[in-house]
Amino acid sequence: MRRKKWVECRHCNSGRPAARVLGYLCGGCLKQKFRLAEEVAEAAHRRSRIFPPFSPPRTPRGVICVFCGNRCQLGEGEDGFCRLRYCSDGKLVSRAGTARIGLGSFYFDPLPTNCVAEWVCPGGTGAGYPKYAYRPGPEVGYQNLAVFLGACSFDCLYCQNSTYREMAKKGEPLLTVEDLVNSLDERTACICFFGGDPSPQMPFTLAVARRALKKAEGRIMRVCWETNGNLHPRYLEPMVELALASGGVIKFDIKAWDDDLHRFLTGVSNQQTLANFRYLSRYFDQRPDPPLLVASTLLVPGYVGKRVVAGIARFLADLNPSIPYTLLAFAPCHLLDDLPLVTREEAEECYHVAREAGLTRVRLANLHLLR
């Protein structure tokens, strides 16, 4: 009999997969054995981060940073969680992520591209043609400017783009607004900010977006964000204004429903993410085609399954049942590289619970990763 390459939870009889870095505690046991879970999660995030601080700083009477939802409170000489900012002489100093300079890299993707919103966005489907799309179908022949940002406000143990950590550690490469705007040509139909995550560098993304739209005045240029949603609320209005006007899509990756599980997996609470999504949902009906908002969740065996999806789906359906929801199949990576792939049965169960919650547009993606 072929031996499994993954380990079942050693603390219960559920048969669920469990990761070595989390003490072989499955998602259910992380919640039930809270003290042990906190210990193993803290150790896991220290290993994952590769640099301090290992959690958002909360130094008493420190300077409060308002660039993302973490609201780090920094003592003298202390770095913020994103490492883009630090405290010097009692003042907040930015290394990058300002309206002039960002940390990250960029490249061009031919459309349609592999995006969580590809099945509903103008680039993948022609949604909103002719106002927001160049073609009534997929925009073959056009391209997306993909801006990979080298910092994040979370520390996901299963991070799909963990290379951002080296950027954050080294503080390079740096980008200017002009670097990105000057790269745009007539074939560029959209810009997508991702990473890492846009949340610690929103001033930079907004500056690029405004300059890009000015340069492309008179033609289609969509502006999109793919984010964990942990934004400071002051950036929500300008972001939604630019996305609505340009035909862009704001994509929130909602990692987990239960706040404790979310903190164990990402190192940070999900309360700001959920509050931000709730706020943005009020604009959804202003432009249903293409949809302003898209939500996604990565299915993580043993941790993020149908119960988590059901909670997220009910939250979305209560806001607006037409919000598109993408369920992504997991690929073992970063510190959860000893977990198995999601089974087709598990993925289909998650799909059905999302539909049963009332959502009318649900999609399973990365089907090639199912086992």
User: Model's pTM, two decimal places?
Assistant: 0.95
Tokens of 133: 């799309």
Among the listed ranges 5-19, 100-114, 175-189, 293-307, which one has the minimum average pLDDT value?
5-19
By CB atoms closer than 10 A (0-12, 13-18, 19+), residue 10 is exposed
- pLDDT band, very low/low/confident/very high, at 5 (cuts 50, 70, 90): confident
**Which pLDDT does position 4 carry in this prediction?**
61
Reported as a single tens digit per residue, the pLDDT across 190-216 is: 999 999 999 999 999 999 999 999 999
Superfamily of domain 101-369: Aldolase class I (3.20.20.70)
Q: Mean pLDDT score of the chain, rounded to an integer?
A: 95
156 is in an annotated binding site: yes
Structure confidence at residue 231 as a pLDDT band (50, 70, 90)? very high
The DSSP code for 104 is E
Q: How far is CA 347 from the centre of its chain?
A: 20
Q: What is the pLDDT of residues 43-96, one digit of tens each?
A: 999 999 988 999 999 999 999 999 999 999 999 999 999 999 999 999 999 999
Closest CA to 292 of 328, 241, 349: 241
Radius of gyration, alpha carbons of the chain? 20
Contact of 238 with 206, CB cutoff 8 Å: yes
DSSP tag of 300: B
Output the CA torsion sign for 108, 140, 351, 273. positive
Strand segments (E) across the chain:
63-64, 73-74, 85-88, 91-94, 101-110, 143-149, 174-176, 188-195, 222-227, 250-253, 293-299, 325-329, 362-365
Render pLDDT for 262-311 as a digit per residue (tens, 0 to 9).
999 999 999 999 999 999 999 999 999 999 999 999 999 999 999 999 99
The 3-state DSSP class for residue 213 equals helix
pLDDT in tens, 157-185: 999 898 999 999 999 999 999 999 999 99
Q: Given its phi and psi angles, is residue 212 left (phi above 0), alpha (psi -120 to 50 degrees) or beta?
A: alpha
Q: How many CB atoms lie within 10 A of CB 196?
A: 29
